[in-house]
Amino acid sequence: MSKLMITDLQLKGKKVLVRVDFNVPMKDQKITDDNRIVQALPTIKYVIENGGKAILFSHLGRVKTEEDKAKASLAPVAKRLEELLGKKVLFVPQTRGAELEAAIANLKEGEVLMFENTRFEDINGKKESGNDPELGKYWASLGDVFVNDAFGTAHRAHASNAGISANIAQTAAGFLMEKELKFIGGAVDNPAHPFVAILGGAKVSDKIGVIENLLKKADKVIIGGGMAYTFFKAQGWNVGDSICELDKVELAKELLEKGKGKIVLPVDTVIAPEFSNEAPSKVVKSNEIPDGFQGLDVGPETLKLYAETVKGAKTVVWNGPVGVFEFSNFAKGTLALCEMLANLEGAITIVGGGDSASAAISLGYASKFTHISTGGGASLEYLEGKALPGVEAISNK
């Protein structure tokens, strides 16, 4: 890989700025899923084991008001990191100023400091998310080298990634960033064939670029979830009350034509008279959805088709649920697909963040996938073939 890696840096005695992605889900100030913290541990441990002074920072949620601040402190995250590291983490509840500077000046080799949510800088104008030049320069002044391990924010040019990189001598990728670039980048640039892409989610409009890019590279593109109904409509089928982007029907026709047999659509659908977990359901053929009903999941014949399609694949990338995953009665297709891919032998299996990642982790299959991405939006843009600002800002070797 042509980018500078953390293993290329001399860290002993250095103040090492580490942009982590600790944007973890929380409820009542308690972390409900610490996967992103766990994924960052190898990079943090490498810094402190090699004599670096680790200075960690992250965003958490969107912070626009003083009320948002009360719910978005990284203090609980620092506490959880301390438990996972088995080592003291000094938390500084500031994003700049004398207290933070003094704490950094007093850091010893092998110690860990975390400062407050970078998005607190967005309360009086978008200084962090708007990549304010003065803020990027200030944060860069706090360290000697910069390690970016936050792939989840790599699709955005913020002060805490691109801004720091522009004002510091060296920016390297951490181990998690390296892993994301290796697997997702590898799937896009040089996949082992047969290559099967599986795309779910509600809207075609969210994934137009991804579908177009993957049609050039994949041997098969499986489409499920809400966007399948727009493709059904494009073939002249009735979709009842199913979600359907009427303004994207012509585009779906074009994609089917471009795909020339590559696109695999559901052959049967679980339908219900209303959008509710308790609604009575039945299975119909995909071209026989009656008025008054809406499709909420893929049916059993579709799952057989999916199994046949991925059989023998060498690379599989999956992004997005194939049914209404938040309803347990209509999550069965997504869960079955997850289990199918987890047990697929001889393939590189990559899950592209979001609900797909949640499904894999909640079912206990995390270790059975080659890679589960921590970045939803970043994964999608990378699969689309776009250059990511956070990645571009990493120094070349």
14-19 mean pLDDT: 98
Confidence of residue 29 (pLDDT cuts 50, 70, 90): confident
Per-residue pLDDT tens for 303-357? 999 999 999 999 999 999 999 999 999 999 999 999 999 999 999 999 987 778 8
Q: Are 390 and 364 in contact (CB under 8 A)?
A: no
The residues annotated with a catalytic role in the active site are 36, 203, 354, 377
Q: Got the DSSP string for 188-200?
A: HHSPPSSEEEEE-
Confidence of residue 124 (pLDDT cuts 50, 70, 90): confident
> Which homologous superfamily is 191-383 in?
Phosphoglycerate kinase, N-terminal domain (3.40.50.1260)
Per-residue pLDDT tens for 276-296? 999 999 999 999 999 999 999
pLDDT at 35: 87
Q: Are 92 and 114 in contact (CB under 8 A)?
A: yes
Q: Which two tokens stand for residue 313?
A: 């694949």
On the question of a cis peptide bond just before residue 194, with omega within 30 degrees of 0, the verdict is yes
pLDDT at 70: 85
Say which CATH architecture domain 6-176 belongs to. 3-Layer(aba) Sandwich (3.40)
pLDDT at 232 over 60: yes
Tokens 């522009």 sit at which residue? Answer: 166
From 67-76, 78-87, 180-189, 342-351, the region with the lowest mean pLDDT: 180-189
131: β partners = none
Average pLDDT, the chain: 95
343 versus 124: the higher-pLDDT residue is 343
pLDDT at 169: 94
353-375 mean pLDDT: 86
Beta carbons within 8 Å of 328's beta carbon, 6+ residues apart: 277
Q: In degrees to the nearest 10, what's the CA dihedral of 233, 237, 239, 243? A: -10
208-231 mean pLDDT: 95
Q: Which two tokens stand for residue 72?
A: 């978005």
pLDDT at 1: 56
pLDDT at 223 over 60: yes
Domains of the chain, by residue range, sit at: 6-176, 191-383
pLDDT at 127: 96
